[in-house]
Amino acid sequence: MPDERQQRLMQEALDEQMTHEALEMLHRQLDWDPDAAAQFNRLKRVDEMLRNAPYERAPARLALGIMARLAATLRPEQVEQTTSLALAMALSLAILIALPVLALAISLMLSAVGNPAALNMILQQLANVLALIVAILEKLVEGAQTIISTYPQAPLLMISVLPILVFWLLKLLPPDPDDSESGGAS
């Protein structure tokens, strides 16, 4: 019976991900180990069969049927709890997005207090921005309600993907120059 390393090498050979030298080394090992050679031949036959198998698209209703079965397995309290959590997270995210905009608007308003025309313009723009934010939030809530009514397990998926999104958002942020200075000084 081939060991784990040999099995990995066999898979790499079948996937054509080996260098010529590594492939030769694998063939030399297989010459000395008849059990491993027999297994490699079986794997090659299965690989060939799978590569030559006809390709057929799954029916579009298959995914809907699977999602419906998954939804049927969830208890209503699980769906309700998950939905509430997803809604709370969505609102928190919306607030985090809106806070910098509001802070900027307030700072502009405070700097324009002495000029009535500028203050009027800023207040109008602030009202427009707030109306836009409210409209976006309404659309997000409507979309979330539609998704949840269609796919009750969607909140579970959103919750599972959220840490990955946060991780990538943090990776996209530019490095803090203060961190590089303090890191070099220690």
Question: Is 58 contained in some domain?
Answer: no
Distance of CA 40 to the CA centre of its chain: 36
106 part of a folded domain? yes
The predicted pLDDT at position 49 comes to: 85
Q: Is residue 81 part of a domain?
A: yes
* Radius of gyration from C-alpha coordinates of the chain: 29
Please report whether residue 185 resides in a domain: no
Q: Do 94 and 163 belong together in one domain?
A: yes
Question: What is the count of structural domains for the chain?
Answer: 2
- Comparison of pLDDT for 63 and 28, the residue scoring more: 28
Least confident of 17-21, 42-46, 147-151: 147-151
- Indicate if 88 and 164 belong to the same structural domain: yes
Mean residue pLDDT across the chain: 77
83 within 8 A of 71, measured Cβ to Cβ: no
Residues 46 and 80 in one domain: no
Same domain? For 159 and 92 the reply is yes
**Same domain flag for 38 and 90:** no
pLDDT digits over 142-157, tens only?
Answer: 887 787 778 777 777 7
- Closest residue by Cα to residue 39 from 75, 9, 80, 83: 9
Residue 68 lies in a domain: no
Closest CA to 84 of 14, 170, 31, 148: 148
Q: Are residues 97 and 130 in the same domain?
A: yes
Measured between alpha carbons, how far apart are the two ends of the chain, in Å? 53
Give the integer Cα–Cα distance in Å for 133 and 131: 5
Q: Which domain holds residue 115?
A: 75-172
Q: Is there a single domain that holds both residue 123 and residue 158?
A: yes
Give residue 6's pLDDT band: very low, low, confident or very high (50, 70, 90). Answer: confident
**Percent of the chain residues past pLDDT 90, beyond the cut:** 1
Confidence of residue 186 (pLDDT cuts 50, 70, 90): very low
